[in-house]
């Protein structure tokens, strides 16, 4: 028995650590926001996490042996509990070896939450774990007779983990809120000390990061430019960028602004005081959090309302809801468009568009001037984002010739239509930065340009679309069904709607799959793919899938 009592604490702590990391990974992925977590747990993926069948199977086994422990054989409950933790720990080690164990990024907040939760559980387990005597075994039966159920004490303590986690998460969020207040005020004071700094805000349901990237690339040829990096677009992310990176030599600060509810973009604007604002689109992205399309429209318009009378509001003329906001905007404003039906009233538009795999050529029209342009990035839809950047550069005094010369080094941000060599000689298009209905449709349109080459889609479901979830996935399926040879969804939400749309468009049902396990997904694709095929990776699918498919052999 001595050996069991030595290994038992180790197995318990391994299990608790893995469970804690999994919980932190979920809340971190949802940015520690309770509104996003609430929506996540409404999805099939979230409910599968809450009601894990393996967990209930182990629970049933423990309950069974606990019942048996009422009869002669006092160690029955102990041994089945030990088996539970051996199996759980073994699963953890296998997932670590296969690099499939969910884990958060190592931020200070994640580390603090881990040690608080893990420490609390360890404190509860410690009296049991280090009581190497018969009393430790009897404690199982004492609990059973006390509360009227037959449940081993370690397993009961393990069940407290979610409640302990929620307790510390709430306290940590309160502390974070207080600290954020100091950070926001410090950032506001710092940016106000740069009165000549021109701040450009960019918001929209999609296209924000690409537009920001294009604009920074163009303006950096004439100005000292700072931009928020990656997908940093929250109030705290912008504040940290100001405190860490803003220098006296900077002339322009480009700020991407995101939001999940009304008031968040307004808060960023109060901090940075933008002079120029770009609204790229209004769509049902994050509809589940906003509650309605009107709320999304109102939230995005907060940027425009924050602009000064001598500023400039720039709208996507191809987006109907943007056009509505343009009509009611009283300050100087401009439209850009790529669709001929929207050229009327647009100050910047593109005609004669010709697309290649890695670039697009077109004629850019601005006021009374037209020039031939080449945009050295894939995807015709990126011309729209480029026109928004051109409108800003024009307002700041750059000529079309200067803009064109400054555009030669433009590249897309990482994981947005990144074209890479793939396994078995295939081509991989990494578009895993994020996913929304319009973005996925644009990526599929680009995929169609590969002609008769076989096309494969590996995609995670689009999230936070609320009542539009089924409709959006069905619409994507209708387009995908005309293009794809194989489609694999890595999560269940929206899959049936996608499948219905794809089948109605003529795709074979047996080639439309929903597979959860990364290993099975990789096996299916590797068995199917051959030289000259094209694999489109959409949304934030598991990293191990991306790494394997991108690896050239």
Domains of the chain: 2-173 (no CATH), 194-406 (3.40.1190.10), 418-550 (3.90.190.20)
Percent of the chain with pLDDT over 90: 57
The mean per-residue pLDDT over the stretch 455-482 comes to 93
Query: Where is pLDDT greater, at 158 or 381?
Result: 381
Enter the tokens of residue 260.
């999940």
Q: Are 418 and 446 in contact (CB under 8 A)?
A: no
What's the rounded Cα separation, in Å, for the pair 296 and 262?
8
What's the rounded Cα separation, in Å, for the pair 223 and 58?
62
Task: Indicate the angle between helix axes 161-192 and 235-245, nearest 10 degrees.
Answer: 50
pLDDT (tens digit per residue) in 304-325: 999 999 999 999 999 999 999 9
What's the rounded Cα separation, in Å, for the pair 378 and 156?
55
The pLDDT value recorded for residue 228 is 96
pLDDT (tens digit per residue) in 33-85: 888 888 888 888 787 777 766 566 655 655 665 555 555 444 455 666 677 77
pLDDT (tens digit per residue) in 232-250: 999 999 999 999 999 999 9
Q: Are 143 and 159 in contact (CB under 8 A)?
A: no
pLDDT band (50, 70, 90) for residue 125: confident
What's the rounded Cα separation, in Å, for the pair 255 and 283?
20
The pLDDT value recorded for residue 424 is 86
Residues 6+ apart with CB under 8 A from 455: 447, 483, 484, 485, 486, 533, 534, 536
Enter the tokens of residue 497.
């709607």
**Residue 188's closest CA among 199, 178, 177?**
199
Chain centroid, CA 405 distance in Å: 34
pLDDT band (50, 70, 90) for residue 211: very high
Sort residue 466 into left (φ over 0), alpha (ψ -120 to 50) or beta: left
**Residue 180's closest CA among 271, 98, 302?**
271
The mean per-residue pLDDT over the stretch 98-105 comes to 78
Greatest C-alpha distance within the chain: 95
Q: Are 528 and 486 in contact (CB under 8 A)?
A: yes
Round the average pLDDT of the chain to a whole number and report it.
Answer: 86
The pLDDT value recorded for residue 19 is 86
Q: Are 498 and 462 in contact (CB under 8 A)?
A: no
Q: Are 349 and 363 in contact (CB under 8 A)?
A: no
Task: Please tell me the number of Cα atoms within 13 Å of 147 on its side-chain side.
Answer: 11
Chain centroid, CA 454 distance in Å: 28
SS3 state at 225: strand
> Rounded to 10 degrees, what is the CA torsion of 379, 383, 389, 395?
170
Buried b (16+ CB within 10 A) or exposed e, 289-326: bbeebeebbbbbbbbbebbeeebbbbbbbbbebbbebb
What's the rounded Cα separation, in Å, for the pair 16 and 210?
41
pLDDT (tens digit per residue) in 388-430: 999 999 999 999 999 999 998 898 988 899 888 888 889 999 9
Residues 6+ apart with CB under 8 A from 18: 88, 92, 101
pLDDT (tens digit per residue) in 179-205: 999 999 999 999 999 999 999 999 999
**Residue 414's closest CA among 551, 210, 141?**
210
């Amino acid at each position: 028995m001595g050996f069991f009592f030595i290994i038992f604490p180790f197995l318990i702590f391994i299990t608790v650590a893995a469970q804690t990391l999994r919980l932190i990974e979920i809340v971190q992925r949802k940015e520690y926001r309770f509104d996003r977590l609430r929506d996540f747990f409404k999805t099939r993926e979230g409910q599968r996490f809450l009601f894990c069948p393996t967990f209930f199977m182990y629970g049933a086994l423990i309950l069974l042996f606990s019942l048996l422990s009422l009869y002669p054989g006092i160690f029955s409950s102990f041994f089945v509990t030990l088996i539970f933790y051996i199996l759980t720990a073994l699963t953890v080690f296998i997932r670590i070896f296969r690099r499939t164990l969910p884990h958060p990024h190592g931020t200070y907040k994640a580390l603090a939450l881990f040690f608080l939760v893990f420490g609390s559980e360890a404190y509860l387990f410690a009296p049991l774990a280090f009581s190497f005597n018969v009393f430790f075994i009897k404690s199982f039966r004492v609990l059973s007779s006390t509360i009227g159920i037959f449940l081993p004490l370690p397993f009961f303590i393990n069940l407290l983990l979610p409640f302990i986690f929620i307790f510390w998460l709430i306290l940590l969020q309160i502390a974070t809120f207080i600290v954020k207040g100091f950070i926001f005020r410090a950032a506001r004071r710092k940016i106000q000390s740069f009165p000549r700094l021109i701040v450009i805000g960019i918001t929209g349901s999609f296209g924000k990061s690409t537009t920001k990237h294009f604009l920074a690339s163009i303006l950096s040829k004439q100005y000292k430019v700072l931009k928020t990096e990656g997908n940093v677009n929250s109030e705290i992310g912008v504040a940290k960028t100001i405190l860490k990176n803003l220098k006296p030599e900077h002339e322009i600060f480009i700020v991407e602004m995101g939001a999940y509810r009304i008031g968040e973009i307004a808060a960023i604007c109060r901090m940075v005081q933008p002079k120029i604002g770009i609204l790229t689109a209004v769509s049902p992205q994050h509809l589940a959090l906003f509650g309605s399309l009107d709320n999304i429209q109102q939230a995005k318009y907060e940027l425009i309302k924050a602009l000064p009378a001598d500023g400039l509001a720039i709208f996507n003329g191809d987006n109907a809801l943007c056009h509505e906001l343009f009509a009611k905007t009283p300050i100087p404003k401009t439209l850009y468009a790529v669709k001929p039906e929207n050229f009327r009233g647009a100050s910047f538009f593109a005609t004669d568009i010709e697309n290649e795999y890695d670039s697009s050529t077109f004629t850019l029209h601005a006021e009374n001037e037209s020039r031939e342009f080449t945009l050295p990035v894939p995807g015709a839809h990126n011309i729209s984002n480029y026109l928004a950047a051109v409108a800003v550069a024009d307002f700041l005094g750059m000529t079309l010739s200067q803009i064109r010369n400054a555009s030669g080094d433009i590249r897309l941000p990482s994981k947005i239509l990144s074209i890479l060599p793939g396994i078995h000689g295939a081509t991989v298009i990494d578009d895993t930065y994020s996913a929304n209905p319009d973005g996925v449709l644009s990526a599929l349109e680009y995929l169609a340009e590969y002609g008769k080459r076989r096309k494969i889609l590996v995609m995670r479901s689009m999230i936070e679309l609320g009542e539009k979830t089924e409709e959006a996935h069905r619409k994507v399926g209708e387009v995908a069904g005309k293009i794809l040879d194989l489609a694999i969804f890595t999560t269940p939400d929206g899959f049936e709607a996608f499948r219905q749309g794809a089948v109605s468009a003529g795709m074979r049902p047996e080639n439309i799959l929903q597979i959860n396990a990364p290993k099975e997904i990789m096996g299916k694709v590797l068995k199917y793919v051959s030289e000259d095929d094209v694999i489109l990776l959409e949304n934030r699918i598991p990293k191990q899938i991306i790494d394997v498919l991108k690896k050239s052999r």
